[in-house]
Amino acid sequence: MKQYWWFQIIGWGVFYLSDTLLKVTAGIVNLPLFMAVLILYGYGLLVSHAMRHWYRKWRRQNLVVVLLEIFAVSLLGAAAATSLMLGTLVVIQHPIIDQAANALDLLFLNNLLVLWVVLVIWSGLYCFITRQRKVDELEVAQAGLEQNLQQAQLSALLTQLNPHFMFNCINNIRALILEDTGKARDMLADLADMLRYNLQSDAGEKSTLASELTIVATYISLMKMQYEKRLSFSVDVDDEVNRQSCVPRLLLQLLVENAIKHGIARLAQGGHVEVKVTKKQQMLCISVTNPGVFEPGESGIGVANIRQRLQLLYGGRQTFTLEQVGSQVVARVRIPIEDGACA
């Protein structure tokens, strides 16, 4: 509201100064006339405020109807303001009344036409500004809805990870309880660490690379209790890589889990899973390699989950590929490097 009145005062001040400059340019320098015009524009300001309340009642209408209504409302407003001006001049016995005693009708008509034009311009500016403001508000609201939808989609994708992982771990622990109580106890401790990381209420959609590597190490310790010597694992992070860089939460775990499920688990002799993290041209490059045969038709929920999350988080700035390289299957992810606080 305060901003509106500032616009009103400045806008009508510009109208008045423009009118005065035109008269001075035409050689008309008459202080009583300038005072009368000031009174006219003062009433014009009040009338435009009343017109604003009328315009605010508008709903969606045809453009022709809107233009006709603007011209009609502006004419009525100009007539009201001009009448108030003449009435005020008569009451205060302004000199202009005596000067135009024989032509008050022309004085009224001239001021009516001038103010009508001014009010039409004012109405156009008001409608344009208010419409633009509504468009901006709708864009902000839409952006907020899209962000909320994106957060909901990401949260839904994250919830897909937990049940799948938990069921596998619980089944493994159940199988070990009677065979090796110590191992079962260790698995429970690692599972608790995993769940604590996954279920952090204040965790965002991204985490630091260091945190992800730590949780992957915990995950591997769980898997080694199941696969024992069939599974070996290594991590290679280039010195140039900042371990505080942000990556999607549980991305590394998903990649490693996919490598074990579709690679190690299908080989009687097992194999080696390698994670490499490098930096190339402001992109963080993550690769997970495992022995096996890549069959595109067998890509399950894990791969689909990775693709969807990366698309939601990076909007096309990322790449994700799965390919066969000799006897190895290599999953590669390239994402923009984001250093600083992860959200």
What local confidence, expressed as pLDDT, does residue 299 receive? Answer: 60
What local confidence, expressed as pLDDT, does residue 319 receive? Answer: 93
CA 153 to chain centre: 15
Burial of 245 (0-12, 13-18, 19+ CB in 10 A): buried
Residue extents of the structural domains in the chain: 2-141, 180-336
- CA 288/CA 277 separation, integer angstroms: 9
What local confidence, expressed as pLDDT, does residue 181 receive? Answer: 83
What local confidence, expressed as pLDDT, does residue 4 receive? Answer: 78
What local confidence, expressed as pLDDT, does residue 145 receive? Answer: 53
φ, ψ of residue 289 in degrees (nearest 5): -115, 135
Q: Which superfamily, per CATH, for 180-336?
A: Histidine kinase-like ATPase, C-terminal domain (3.30.565.10)
What local confidence, expressed as pLDDT, does residue 173 receive? Answer: 81
What local confidence, expressed as pLDDT, does residue 60 receive? Answer: 61
> Do residues 231 and 224 make contact, with C-beta atoms less than 8 angstroms apart?
yes
What local confidence, expressed as pLDDT, does residue 63 receive? Answer: 75
What local confidence, expressed as pLDDT, does residue 93 receive? Answer: 82
According to DSSP, the residues that pair with 322 across neighbouring strands are: 331
With DSSP H G I counted as helix, E B as strand and the rest as coil, what are the percentages for the chain, rounded to 5?
Answer: 70, 15, 20
What local confidence, expressed as pLDDT, does residue 163 receive? Answer: 61
- CA 82/CA 110 separation, integer angstroms: 10
- CA 114/CA 105 separation, integer angstroms: 14
What local confidence, expressed as pLDDT, does residue 295 receive? Answer: 78
- CA 49/CA 7 separation, integer angstroms: 12
What local confidence, expressed as pLDDT, does residue 144 receive? Answer: 59
Q: Which residue has the tokens 């790449």?
A: 319
Token pair in block for residue 135: 């468009």
What local confidence, expressed as pLDDT, does residue 82 receive? Answer: 87
> Do residues 271 and 292 make contact, with C-beta atoms less than 8 angstroms apart?
yes
pLDDT < 70 stretches in the chain: 1, 58-61, 101, 141-165, 198-203, 297-301, 343
What local confidence, expressed as pLDDT, does residue 321 receive? Answer: 92
What local confidence, expressed as pLDDT, does residue 141 receive? Answer: 64
pTM: 0.54
